[in-house]
Amino acid sequence: MNSQNEKTVKNFLLELTDKLGATIIGGLTDAVISDVTSDSRNAGSGKIFVAIKGVTTDGHKFIADAEKKGVSAVVVQQDEELPMLSIPIAIVKDSREALVILLHKLLGNPPDKLFAVTGTNGKTTTTHILRHIFTRAGEKAGIIGTLGYAFEDGEHNKLPVTTPGAEQLWRILAQMRNRSISAVAMEVSSHGLDQKRTWGLDFNVAIFTNLTQDHLDYHKDMESYLAAKCMLFSGLRKTSIALVNIDDPYAERIIAENRGTLLTYAIDNTKADIVAEPKSIGISGSRLALRTPWGRFDVHTHLQGRFNIYNVTAAIGATMARGYAPDAIISAIESFKSVKGRFQKVELGQPFAVLVDYAHTPEALRNILITAREMTDGKVIVVFGAGGDRDNSKRPLMGKAASELADIVIITSDNPRTEEPLKIIAMIEQGMHSDSNYKKIPDRREAIFEAIRSAEKGDVVLIAGKGHEDYQILGDETIHFDDVEIATEAIERILCKK
């Protein structure tokens, strides 16, 4: 084996010197490295410990503990006071970047084709459409995002967050490569970008769906939120495709920061490179005409709603831009059914529609309510809440959207976490119109039952906010809770009574 490829302390730390201009203190030994970690609990013999300043804790506090556990070297950020150590130390300006460089050296290259999707809404659906296109084109494909990660068409493995930390992410990508997966569709969150979880990945395509208010508990303001999204596009190579929704008011800033090859898509802005013209939108799906640089196409999708036309258009544009056959893409779109917890139908023969959706932002809630309204001449009944210990400024905006677009509103709990549920509900209530027909039912199960009891023939019941989640966080306790299961139980009981 070439010495430059050997996994030794010397070669790992010299990689940091070469890539980041690291300063090395201590001897560069030929001790073999078996792993790299930023979690001091996983520190041990044959490993390099990378100290990272996290959101809630600072890994630099655990450097001495890592040495006691037998690590072969540590990496620290330049401005830290260093303890006296008997092992080599690499000093860098950004230890998050150092972690990625070491993981790359340890684990090797990820799969060849990485497609990133970022935005407030639409990431999950768009990535699932992309994976379906890859698969139908005969490729082995993986997916990473809100529902977890999956190899090919297998079951999802749960993730703690939409975009996992660099360590977990690189290990997942290595597993995918080892399974001969060549294309990966990945949701890239603003948290992930801000914390450099995806730094160092070479994305072939980056898609911007939209930006609306969310996560301001973390980013503090929309400018910071937008700046995080821009990081994906400012890090692209010229040969990468940047696909941007120019109907969104924030698109101009994304485009200004972009370094990739730009393609735009839209419904309203006919100057876009890819323009979707909705022909029909209904309970059974949508039809649209699509104008692209590769031709004009008539497209049918089982997905409902104008917002899903954006998602479909993004996936088609991204794959056509990367040379996938148009006929195979359109065929894949027509065979794609749905995504768990995304406008998911609960059908047991009841004379009204019941839909479960993840919408948990004002704009997402508004979009799905507009779609529900387009689907019926009857009543639109919505059940929703807002998460505790999260951005509370969006709560009255969600109340406003619900009161303007639904006939009956039932405000309930989402994941209240450590907040008092009635306090969250009261903040939502501040946005409700005074003449709105609404109820406050903190118990989410009872709220769903009440919505379904209220439904008549031709109505639409929309259960929003949790979507695919099969749990509810109450205080410090996490209980099993699945909106689809509860809705199913409610329909069965009510149909039996009738």
Q: What is the CATH number of the domain that holds 68?
A: 3.40.1390.10
pLDDT in the model for residue 220: 75
| Same-domain check for residues 125 and 243 | yes
Among residues 107, 139, 174, the one where a domain terminates is 107
pLDDT score of 443:
98
- Label residue 56 by pLDDT band (50, 70, 90): confident
Question: pLDDT confidence of 3, banded at 50, 70, 90?
Answer: very low
Same domain, 375 and 426: yes
CATH number at residue 278: 3.40.1190.10
- Amino acid letter at 292? T
Q: Residue 5's pLDDT is what?
A: 60
pLDDT cut 70: percent of the chain above it: 98
Say whether both 60 and 178 belong to one domain. no
Which CATH number fits the domain that encloses residue 443? 3.90.190.20
- Count how many domains the chain has: 3
Average pLDDT over residues 470-477: 94
Residues of the domain holding 120: 113-335
**Residue 373 structure tokens:** 């309204």
Amino acid 485 reads E
The terminus-to-terminus CA distance of the chain in angstroms comes to 75
> What's the confidence (pLDDT) of residue 498?
56
Task: Give me the helix-helix angle, 166-178 and 95-107, nearest 10°.
Answer: 20
Chain-centre distance of CA 37, in angstroms? 24
Q: How far apart, in whole angstroms, are the C-alpha atoms of residue 158 and residue 144?
A: 10
pLDDT score recorded for residue 1: 35
Both 378 and 456 in one domain: the answer is yes
Q: Specify the DSSP element, H or E, that contains 481.
A: none
The per-residue pLDDT for range 143-162, each reduced to its tens digit, is 999 999 999 877 899 999 99
Whole-number Å distance between alpha carbons of 495 and 478: 31
Domain ends where: 286, 303, 335?
Answer: 335
Among 61, 87, 107, identify where a domain stops: 107
The DSSP H or E segment spanning 50 is strand 47-50
pLDDT of residue 453: 96
Within this chain, do residues 179 and 248 fall inside the same structural domain, yes or no? yes
Residues of the chain with pLDDT > 90, as a percent, come to 89
Q: Where are the beta strands (DSSP E) in 352-470?
A: 353-357, 380-384, 408-411, 438-440, 460-464
Are 26 and 160 part of one and the same domain?
no
**Same structural domain for residues 396 and 310?**
no
At 30, the pLDDT band (50, 70, 90 cuts) reads very high
Q: Which of 51-60, 231-240, 474-483 has the lowest mean pLDDT?
A: 51-60
pLDDT tens digits, one per residue of 327-337: 999 999 999 99
pLDDT for residue 334: 97
How many other CB atoms sit within 10 Å of the CB of residue 77? 19
pLDDT of residue 462: 98
Q: Are both 312 and 380 inside the same structural domain?
A: no
Q: What is the pLDDT of residue 218?
A: 72
Per-residue CA distances from 325 to 34, 128, 302, 432 (Å) = 42, 18, 21, 48
Rg (CA), the chain: 24
On whether both 382 and 466 belong to a single domain, the answer is: yes
On whether both 133 and 194 belong to a single domain, the answer is: yes
- pTM for the model stands at 0.91
Predicted local confidence at residue 80, as pLDDT:
67
Q: Are residues 411 and 487 in the same domain?
A: yes
Residues 27 and 143 in one domain: no
Weakest mean pLDDT among 82-91, 186-195, 270-279, 458-467: 82-91
